[in-house]
Amino acid sequence: MMLESTSLARQVEFVFRQLEGELTNATAGTVLIHVRNNAVGKFGVRHHPIESKNGKFENVEKGLTAMQVQAFKQMAIEALKYRSEWTHGEILYDFSVRASANSWSASILFESNYNMANWNSRYYPKKNELWDSQA
């Protein structure tokens, strides 16, 4: 799949399809998507919590079901409507499962990134332009 020529929504859908196995049964974590020029550069999942007591891992509570992962993917795509006017940055989707209520929740964080090195030529003339104007 050529991600550079695909809409960001389709790319996010692709990311969630790739992460589906990791997200199924996950109790909490963060899906990270790095965006550059409106193209996904890298993505992944931070899983938490994995707890232990006295050096032994605790039994993990039931995590996201396959249907909840699909709903999470749809929510992630719809959330892109709230991103405005930036092409470089990160999207973070924090999620957790409440075992007692058999429900899940998620929050979205958009981070835009800008690089001043790309803008220097707009504000400062190049060396050869300085010499031409002084001649």
- Count of all residues that appear for the chain in the document: 135
pTM given for the model: 0.78
Write the DSSP string, 58-123. Answer: PPPPP---HHHHHHHHHHHHHHGGG--S-SSEEEEEEEEEETTTTEEEEEEEEEE---GGGTHHHH
- The residue ranges of every structural domain in the chain are 3-134
For residue range 66-124, list pLDDT tens digits in order. Answer: 999 999 999 999 999 999 889 999 999 999 998 776 799 999 999 999 877 766 666 66
- In the chain, what's the furthest Cα-to-Cα distance? 78
In whole angstroms, give the CA distance from residue 88 to residue 91. Answer: 10
Q: Residue 13, SS3?
A: helix
2-37 per-position pLDDT tens digit: 544 579 999 999 999 999 999 998 999 999 999 999
CA–CA separation, 69 and 75 (whole Å): 10
Specify the pLDDT at position 77. 97
